[in-house]
Amino acid sequence: MALDYYGILGVGKDASDQDIKKAYRKLARKYHPDVNPGDEEAAEKFREASVAQEVLLDPQKRQIVDAGGDPLDRSQGGMPGGFGGGGLGDIFAEFFGGGGAGPRGPKSRVQPGQDALLRTRITLEDAFAGVKKTITVDTAVLCERCHGDGSANGEKPVTCQQCGGAGEVQSVQRSFLGNVMTSHQCPNCRGYGEIIQDPCSHCGGDGRVKKRRDLTVNIPAGIGDGMRIRMGSQGEVGHGGGPAGDLYVEVHTQAHKIFEREGDDLHLTVRVPMVDAALGSKVSMTHLDGSELELEIAPGTQPGQSITLQGQGMARLRREGRGNLYAHVDVQVPTSLDRKTRELLEQVRERSDAVTAIHDGQTEEASVFDRLRNRFRI
C-alpha cells in the first residue's frame, strides 16, 4: 500500500516546494532526536517526515505519488539481483554495484544541509548572569535569486541525455570469469538524472550561496565550560535549497582573576591581616554581578579557614537554585615592622607568656594571642 506522503507532512497535493519545505521544518523542530532524546516514536516521525520531503521534492517521484503509486515501494521487485539465468559475471555484478542489483536510481537534487559548529568565548561574569551574544557565522544560505531551484528563469530541469535520467552509467568489462558490469555516477548530471539548462548565475545552479551573517545566541546563566547551545535550522542550507542543518555554539569560559569555578560553586581567597583575624572584622567584596557582599571574619579565624555564603554561587541549569560561594581566608603576617608596631607586639607576647595553654593534660586559661604567637612565632 502506497504511503500518504502528503498526509505525513500535512500538506495538500497542490503544495509548492516552499510549502513542503516549511512543513518539514516545522515537523523537524518538533520531532528531532536532539529535542526528544530516547523517544523512538518521535524519531520515527522525524524519519518519515524526512523521507516524505525527499520524495515530494523530487519531480519524478512526486509524479508517481500523484498517480497513486509509491516510488519507494520494493514489494513488486522481489529479491534484487537473483542468480537465475546468469553466469559468473552476473554474480560478480552483485558485489561490484551493477548487473543483477539494478541501478540505484538518481539522487534527489534537494539534500538536507549539514550541521555547523562555532566556538565562542565568554567571561565568568557572563556565565554567572547569562548573556545575549552576537556571533558571526559563514554558512551556505538559500540563494535569494532562484530561491533554491538553481534555475535562472525558473524552468524545470530536463532529463540527462547521457544517463537517460538514471543518474548513473554502466560499463561492461570482460574477464576470464565472464562479463563484469559496474555502475558509476553519471559525470554529466553528477548523479541527479537531470540537468538545469540555464543555471542561476548567482549560485551556479546549486541553490545556495555562502554568506556571512550575524546571529544572536542566548547564553543561559550557569552554562558550563565546553557546553553547546543548539540553534535549530541555522546551519548549512542543503544542496538544491534543502532544509538547513542546525548550528551548535560551543561556549568556553575565560579564567577569572579572583573567582574560581568548581561545578556550581565559586571559590575565592580573602587576605586578612593577622590582627583582624585575631580580633574579628568585616570585609566587603564585589560579586560577579556587581553586587556588594559582606564577609564576617569571626575572632580567632585561622589560616585556610573557609566562610560559606549559601546560594551565592552559579545558577544550576537543570534545577532551581544556585551553588555556594566559599571564601578561603589567607591570614597575612607582617614581614617588616616599624618600631612602634614591634613594641606593641612585644607587649602582646609578654602578656601571652603570662598565660599558659593546654599542655600535657594540664588545663589552664589560654588566650587568642597565645595561639597566634605559637602559630606565627612573632
| Residues contributing to the annotated binding site for Zn(2+) | 143, 146, 160, 163, 186, 189, 200, 203
Task: Read off the C-alpha cell for 241.
Answer: 535549497
How far is Cα 26 from Cα 11, in angstroms, rounded to an integer? 12
Task: Read off the C-alpha cell for 145.
Answer: 535569486
SS3 breakdown of the chain: % helix, strand, coil, rounded to 5?
25, 30, 45
How far is Cα 187 from Cα 169, in angstroms, rounded to an integer? 9
**Residue 94's Cα: distance from chain center in Å?**
41
How far is Cα 227 from Cα 122, in angstroms, rounded to an integer? 12
How far is Cα 194 from Cα 196, in angstroms, rounded to an integer? 7
| E-assigned strand segments in 192-259 | 194-195, 208-219, 228-231, 247-253
Contact present, 284 and 277 (Cβ < 8 Å): no
Burial of 284 (0-12, 13-18, 19+ CB in 10 A): exposed
Query: Which residue ranges are tagged as binding site?
Result: 143, 146, 160, 163, 186, 189, 200, 203
How far is Cα 304 from Cα 298, in angstroms, rounded to an integer? 13
The SS3 assignment for 27 reads: helix
Nearest CA to 166 out of 134, 190, 142, 144 is that of: 190
Task: Read off the C-alpha cell for 159.
Answer: 532529463
Task: Read off the C-alpha cell for 59.
Answer: 519531480
Q: How far is CA 317 from CA 123, 191, 206, 326, 328, in A?
A: 17, 47, 41, 20, 26
HSE-CB for 334 with a 13 A CA cutoff: 11
